[in-house]
Amino acid sequence: MCLKRIKNLSRKKKILLAILIVFIVLLLAGGALALFYFKVPFSSSLAGKFGQAETDANLKEQVACPADGVWTTADKAYRHPLAISIENHPDSRPQSGIDKASLIYETPTEGGITRFLTIYVENDVEKIGPVRSARTYFLDWLSEFDGIFGHCGGNADALVLIDPYDIKDLDEFAYPQDYWRTNDRYAPHNLYTSTKNLWGKATDQDWNKKVDYQSWKYKEDLAEKKRPKEQEIHINYANYAFRVKYVYNPKDNNYLRFIINEPHIDLETQKQLSPKNVAVMWVQTWPLNDAEYGWHIETTGSGLARVFTDGQVINGTWKKDSRTTRIKFYDDKGAEITFNRGQTWIQVVPDGTEVVP
């Protein structure tokens, strides 16, 4: 009956009817598109991580993790950060699980050997290590996040500060059941833990609650056509065995990490470490007159800095107002630097250390 009526319409009325139908279809499509874009915090990095097949309902749950800006679910973004001391002695390489850290501080310790403080938030990691001992400057950096501290003992000057600083401490000496040693390496280069073990113990201690800490500014990656073709960064620590090189990878907009010109890989994935950002901060250091030949690092105040992101270099300064406030990086005009979403390595270097460029 409807078709018969349409056939009986004049040519002019048929055209108007067709226009009306097209208008209705476009209106419905536009509404659906608007609903998607205004209610879902979608980005190219999110699509890459979760895939186009994810439903709108899942995408709406995504929030930016304040530790690294990565889009993830709220329950993971706001987890209480874990801070784990990881060694970098040649006998400890390749390490396990550091590719999953949100943020990594690398700093010299005694004898020019560098060590890592790794911060974990949104990722679950089955094997992390080798775990090593605490240092006073690690306490200052993990306090930025009220971090739950995983380590194995430490220098006396660091251990004596854990209680006064109210550090949520999971020393292996106190909680050996949450760590294990492997047989493929000799001690002390064979101690490991997992996020499941440490967050589980933190829950037992009633520590694993949402914590409010300062976020950096984050952005989406620079468009590929605007990225430079190449960039190399050389961080010349005094001890040659710990010199670092990063080679910019424009396709993935990240930095391939090398140790003394050898790719630095993760033992579990066999993939090369490749952070999205590298931040260098020059600090004052001096030896301590103690039995452990320790070092003091001036962690608060300000100093020169250089940030590498999108294949570009930004000269500026770092600033940390107190032990519990987060390090911030600023350009030479005083504006806070915005980082790409993803892992950042903070390379802590003594004043005078050569960094190229």
Higher pLDDT residue, 149 or 25? 149
Name which of 114-118, 220-224, 287-291, 292-296 the model is least confident about.
287-291
Quick check: 37 pLDDT over 60? no
pLDDT at 35: 44
Quick check: 6 pLDDT over 50? no
| SS3 category, 152 | coil
Whether 151 is in a domain gets the answer: yes
Name which of 2-6, 98-102, 215-219, 298-302 the model is least confident about.
2-6
pLDDT in tens, 254-283: 999 999 999 999 999 999 999 999 999 999
Q: Does one domain contain both 108 and 231? A: no
Whether 160 is in a domain gets the answer: yes
Q: How large is the average pLDDT for residues 221-241?
A: 97
Q: How large is the average pLDDT for residues 311-340?
A: 98
| pLDDT-based confidence at residue 29 (cuts at 50, 70, 90) | low
Q: Does one domain contain both 194 and 221? A: no
Q: Does one domain contain both 244 and 182? A: no
Whether 248 is in a domain gets the answer: yes
pLDDT in tens, 51-70: 544 444 455 589 999 999 99
The two tokens of residue 169 are: 């401490």
Report DSSP state, residue 126. S
Total number of domains constituting the chain: 2
pLDDT at 26: 60
Higher pLDDT residue, 289 or 250? 250
Distance CA 177, CA 238 (A): 37
Distance CA 318, CA 18 (A): 63
Whether 199 is in a domain gets the answer: yes
Q: How large is the average pLDDT for residues 217-237?
A: 97
Q: Of the candidates 204, 238, 259, which is a domain's last residue? A: 204
Q: Of the candidates 204, 228, 256, which is a domain's last residue? A: 204
pLDDT at 40: 40
- Cα distances from 48 to residues 51, 52, 53, 329, in angstroms, run 6, 8, 11, 28
pLDDT in tens, 86-145: 999 999 999 999 999 999 999 999 989 999 999 999 999 999 999 999 999 999 999 999
DSSP one-letter string for 196-228: HHHHHHHHHTT--S-------EEEPPPPGGGS-
Q: Does one domain contain both 173 and 95? A: yes
Q: Does one domain contain both 338 and 239? A: yes
Name which of 16-30, 65-79, 258-272, 289-303 the model is least confident about.
16-30
Q: Does one domain contain both 280 and 329? A: yes
- Cα distances from 191 to residues 68, 117, 198, 210, 268, in angstroms, run 27, 15, 14, 28, 15
Whether 164 is in a domain gets the answer: yes
Name which of 39-43, 155-159, 286-290 the model is least confident about.
39-43
Segments of 40-113 assigned E as strands: 62-64, 71-73, 82-87, 103-108
Determine the structural domain holding residue 186 and report its residue range.
Answer: 71-204
| pLDDT-based confidence at residue 30 (cuts at 50, 70, 90) | low
Q: Does one domain contain both 154 and 272? A: no
C-alpha dihedral (114, 263, 247, 280), degrees to nearest 10: -10
The two tokens of residue 165 are: 């600083």
Q: Does one domain contain both 325 and 225? A: yes
Q: How large is the average pLDDT for residues 286-290?
A: 80
Q: Does one domain contain both 197 and 242? A: no
Distance CA 49, CA 276 (A): 14
Q: Does one domain contain both 267 and 188? A: no
Distance CA 46, CA 60 (A): 11
Q: Does one domain contain both 194 and 262? A: no
pLDDT at 11: 61
Whether 184 is in a domain gets the answer: yes
pLDDT at 4: 47
Q: Of the candidates 177, 204, 231, which is a domain's last residue? A: 204
pLDDT at 24: 62
Whether 141 is in a domain gets the answer: yes
pLDDT at 147: 98
Chain-wide mean pLDDT for the chain?
A: 89
Quick check: 44 pLDDT over 50? no
- Asked if 341 and 218 touch (Cβ cutoff 8 Å), the reply is yes
pLDDT at 271: 98
Q: Does one domain contain both 130 and 238? A: no
pLDDT at 20: 63
> Residue 326's domain is classified under what CATH number?
3.50.90.10
DSSP H or E segment with residue 40: none
